[in-house]
């Protein structure tokens, strides 16, 4: 009995220690001052608040969404958060879930105007019972920025998931799977991108008071409403503050800390392969 307690205590202390040192082995924080941040879903709700939060830190912003009128309105609001007169807000109207080529070309335009993308925030999305296209909506913009980020050996990519991306709930049979999928995408992408100094984060906001949330509530089943009411509704400004901070200072979650040994050895395989590949590429060139 004593032995079991001792072993358990040892494990708890060990994991806590790992958790405490994990910020030390985390990457350098990103500086938003002068950085180019692209926010998909930036014309409303959480995305708009994330854009405003980044603008307050001196970033240059590209807002991406479909409706041009909403984009122009949001641009005005973001501009009010300026901290210097050099900052610029660019608006781009495109559907991020329809066709890679279109998304790639608008990202190119944005990079020509405001320079390479330092951080991509994948926030476009909606929750209405029925159809939902979250996953392609996050994949295309990510693919469109990744090549340049790899060349520059820097970058941040954020995915806005949801609490419904941690736990499956009544009424979210379409929404939850797509939000769960973002986590799989983010973790796999993180392992591929780490040797290039690109860091990926996932945010899991609770119900948040936005136009999208109001829209969702119009058709929300009673069960879903009752379940949701057990936890409160957040303000988008608050959510934006937290997720931006997490994306700037990337620390590892507890689960990833426990998986530290595995991840560490997998990362070293990835790094090893990257170096080998680059060496053979260089050798090919010499021949
Ligand atoms: N509010 C909430 O309770 C919670 C929300 N979330 C997530 O946060 C994100 C933002 O939600 P919220 O702020 O409430 O939503 P809003 O409806 O207020 O804003 C959604 C934004 O995404 C844009 N958008 C939607 N679809 C596309 C598309 N296919 N291509 C380009 N832009 C698109 C919209 O503009 P337009 O329509 O003009 O394209 C708008 O700018 C979503 O991913 C949502 O799932 C997560 C947890 C809780
Ligand atoms: C591991 C810990 C998990 C805890 C979860 C407990 C959650 C209970 C209430 C869940 C509320 C539903 C949130 C969906 C928000 C959302 O994404 C939509 N509103 C989008 O518009």
Closest atom, ligand 1, to C-alpha of 127: 45
pLDDT at residue 243 is higher than 90: yes
Over the stretch 181-225, which tens digit does the pLDDT of each residue have?
A: 999 999 999 999 999 999 999 999 999 999 999 999 999 999 899
How wide is the angle at C-alpha 243 spanned by C-alphas 238 and 249, nearest 5°? 130
Which tokens go with 202?
């996932």
Ligand 2 atom closest to 165 (CA): 17
Q: What is the pLDDT of residue 127?
A: 75
Q: What is the dihedral of CA 112, 74, 66, 108, to 10 degrees?
A: 10
Residues in contact with 166: Cβ distance below 8 Å, sequence separation at least 6, in sequence order = 204
Instruction: Find the helix or strand (DSSP H, E) in which 64 lies.
Output: strand 60-65
226 or 25, which is more confident = 226
Compute the average pLDDT of residues 52-57.
Answer: 98
- Across the chain, mean pLDDT equals 91
Protein residue with its CA nearest to atom 42 in ligand 1? 125
- What is the C-alpha R_g of the chain? 21
* Pocket perturbation via mutation, ligand 1, pick of 38, 42, 47 by most ligand atoms within 8 A of CB: 47
User: In sequence order, what are the residues at sequence separation of 6 or more whose Cβ sits closer than 8 angstroms to the Cβ of residue 215?
Assistant: 126, 128
ipTM over 0.90: yes
- pLDDT band per the 50, 70, 90 thresholds, residue 261: confident
Q: Which fold has domain 30-251?
A: Rossmann fold (3.40.50)
d(CA 198, CA 207): 29
pLDDT band, residue 284 (cuts 50/70/90): very high
| Residue 102 confidence (pLDDT) above 80 | yes
- Give the per-residue pLDDT at 257: 74
Write out residues with Cβ below 6 Å of ligand 2: 127, 162-164, 166-167, 169, 206-207, 212-213, 216, 227-228, 230-231
Residue 133's pLDDT is 52
> Which position has the higher pLDDT, 128 or 38?
38
**Could you tell me if the CB of 122 is within 6 A of ligand 1?**
no
Q: Is 63 in the pocket of ligand 1 (CB under 6 A)?
A: no
What 8-state DSSP symbol labels residue 21?
H
* Helix-helix angle 236-248:45-56, to 10 degrees: 60
Kindly state the average pLDDT of the residues 241-247: 93
Which pLDDT belongs to residue 134?
58
155-160 and 119-122: which strand pairing? Answer: parallel
Give 108-152 pLDDT, tens digit per residue: 999 999 999 999 999 998 776 433 455 778 899 999 999 999 999
Catalytic residues: 161, 175, 179
Q: Is 101 exposed, middle or buried (0-12, 13-18, 19+ CB in 10 A)?
A: exposed
What are 234's two structure tokens? 């957040």
Between 134-152 and 175-193, two packed helices, what is the crossing angle to 10 degrees?
10
Ligand 1 pocket member 176 (CB < 6 A): no
Helices (H), the chain: 2-21, 45-56, 68-79, 100-114, 134-152, 175-193, 211-217, 222-229, 236-248, 254-258, 260-286
Residue 132: per-residue pLDDT: 46
Q: Is the pLDDT of residue 177 over 60?
A: yes
For ligand 2, atom 17, name the residue with the nearest CA.
162
User: Regarding predicted confidence, which is higher, 73 or 267?
Assistant: 73
**For residue 183, what are the CA distances in angstroms to 81, 164, 190, 222?**
31, 12, 10, 28
Structure tokens at 185: 């995408």
Mean local confidence (pLDDT), 81-105: 95
C-alpha 204 to ligand 2 mean position (Å): 8
């Amino acid at each position: 009995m004593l032995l079991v307690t001792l072993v358990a205590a040892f494990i708890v202390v060990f994991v806590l220690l790992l958790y405490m040192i994990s910020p030390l082995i985390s990457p350098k924080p990103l500086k938003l001052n002068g950085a180019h941040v692209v926010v998909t879903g930036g014309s409303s709700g959480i995305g708009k608040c994330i854009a405003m939060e980044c603008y307050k830190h001196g970033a240059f912003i590209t807002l991406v969404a479909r409706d041009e009128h909403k984009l122009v309105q949001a641009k005005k609001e973001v501009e009010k958060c300026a901290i210097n007169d050099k900052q610029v807000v660019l608006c781009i109207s495109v559907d991020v879930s329809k066709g890679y080529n279109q998304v790639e070309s608008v990202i190119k335009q944005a990079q020509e105007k405001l320079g390479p993308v330092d951080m991509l925030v994948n926030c476009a999305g909606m929750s209405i019972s029925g159809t939902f296209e979250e996953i392609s909506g996050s994949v295309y913009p990510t693919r469109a920025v990744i090549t340049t980020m790899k060349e520059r050996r820097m970058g941040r990519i954020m995915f806005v998931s949801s609490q419904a991306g941690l736990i499956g709930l009544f009424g979210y049979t379409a929404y939850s799977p797509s939000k769960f999928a973002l986590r799989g995408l983010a973790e796999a992408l993180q392992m591929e991108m780490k040797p290039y100094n690109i860091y990926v984060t996932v945010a899991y906001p609770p119900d948040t008071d936005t136009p999208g949330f109001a829209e969702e509530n119009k058709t929300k089943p009673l069960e879903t409403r009752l379940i949701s009411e057990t936890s409160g509704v957040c303000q988008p400004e608050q959510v934006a503050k937290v997720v931006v901070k997490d994306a700037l200072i990337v620390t590892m979650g507890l689960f990833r800390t426990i998986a530290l040994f595995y991840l560490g050895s997998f990362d070293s395989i990835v790094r090893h392969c990257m170096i080998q590949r680059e060496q053979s590429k260089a050798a090919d060139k010499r021949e």
